[in-house]
Structure 1
Amino acid sequence: MSNEEKSIRSMNHTSDHYKFTVMNNTQPAQGELSLLFSGEGKPVPGHANGPSVHNYYLVHTVISGRGRFELCGQRYTCTKGDTFIIFPDELFTYIADETEPWHYMWVAFKGHISEHLLLSLGFSPSHPIVRIDDIRPLTSLYRKIRATFELTPYPELADLEAGGLLRVFLKELGQNNVGKLAFHSLANVPDIERQINQAVRWLSYQYAQQISIEELARSLGYHRTHLSKMFKQVTGLSPMQFLLKVRMERAKELLSGQIHLSINQVAFSVGYTDALYFSKQFRKTFSCSPSEYRMLALGH
């Protein structure tokens, strides 16, 4: 990286800021969520940004002092702990207080899941602010994000790390905005339904292992009979029927995939140590043998 590029990534604006540092992501990924840049500043009294619009999301957290933020015709006075979000294509203005100008940190990002994610976290142009009592976790994340981009010889790796930190950062915002979260709240889900959902995930992920429904029930704190009854009420299948369904659907994927696996290899991959028993289960489920299904699926 040239000295010119380094100077662009970290600048000091002495004319309108007592302090101004910004670090840019030189290799931002294109996709669902991409961090663009992060910075820290302490502007002079009365310093204003806007009125203008951005084509990305920009989050500011006030570290000290105060200022005014305006979005969608609404005006907010912000002090330490307030975090405000600028949304793309929404006219905004923010102005440092004349006597006690704010000190803030910021992060910018974009990506096709950004809007949905922020809405799920309870933020929108009409609700762009959250009050955070303990800002230390957030300020630590801001600094880690900037450090990620500082003097790195591998910008693609820095982008990966920054993307992970951005997700932790957004989680922290949501954790401080729990009253407005739009996620499906687990607090309103009965305990047994939560446990069944946990069992469904376990069976869906661990189908290749030798699974004992008895042990699964015990780990969730239920008798096998009770778990099976409740499992069927929620899913329409018993745990064993659900496990069989998961295994057979995965077997179909493997048999019709580009990598040619033997029937024995397919059987092991979906949790059967006996290829003959696997074949019997497959025929019982789909009315054809694994080999016959493969020929049909591949057009042979």
Structure 2
Amino acid sequence: MNRAVQGTVADAVKDNWVDALAPAPTRPYLRLSRADRPIGTWLLLLPCWWAVALAVASHGWHPRALWIALGCALGAFLMRGAGCTWNDVTDREFDGAVARTRSRPIPSGQVTVRGALAWMAAQALIAFAVLLTFHPLAIGLGIGSLALVAVYPFAKRFTWWPQMFLGLAFNWGALLAWAAQAGQVPLAALLLYASGIAWTLFYDTIYAFQDIEDDATIGVRSTARLFGTDAPRWLAGFALGATILMALSAGAALSGWSLVLGLAGAASFGWHLRRQMRGLDLADPAACLAAFRSNRDAGLIPLPFFAAAALV
């Protein structure tokens, strides 16, 4: 049985739990949420966890940190799902014209636009219920993030920098989680947010190289198309910027041995980004996808260092 009959999505993780275990009627909706491709949830969640750990290290421990970490995980899964559903609704004509995306649930006819919108609303409402358990400042930030989520799918139509809009949206959780833990958004949180944006520009430019030919044909803009053969230099700059900004965030939040641990976390993060670029062939879609997915590990690397800094 081929992919078209099964309804699986072309770039989904092989043997993922949605295709293997989820009840058949739920699979198209879970695919809309990218539950068969969990890397996006990780990339949305990790800046939140960075912020929780650094906020605890900077402002002191409070038991609510455990709930905030769990609530961020739930919120990342739900809002990534809602955002991806909205993206697929707005991009349904583009997706049908691109080889990698024409198997998605809407262009392949598995889900109607009305059904997708209802699914998006359900995910967003559950996420809002989680958000209401956080500090009022975090609630306000969470509501404010909806503007970025709504605009992002259209960015590729009017700017060569849609990856910047993705970065603004995907790393908002660094501000939200810090506010949830500490009730404020200090300079360290803003620097961490900026680090995440640079990181997103790094990994999503690599991701965009998978579709560069199709995007040129249908007129979709991206940093991959903008940078072209200069992309390796830009990627190196984004990686360096993300690393320096993370180190500056640690410097603004920590002191003593906690600072040493925080800087070690930033350095290890930068090492992984540099390692991704070694031998990366941007003309090979499979290599680009593998490098993109490896950013889950890049984002996990600083966490033990930041957690240890909170315990010192």
TM range (shorter): under 0.3
Q: Looking at both structures, which has the greater relative contact order when contacts are Cα pairs under 8 Å and sequence separation is at least 6?
A: 2
TM-score, normalising length: structure 1: 0.26
Higher helix share: 2
> Whose Rg is larger?
1
User: With structure 2 as the length reference, what TM-score do the two structures score?
Assistant: 0.25
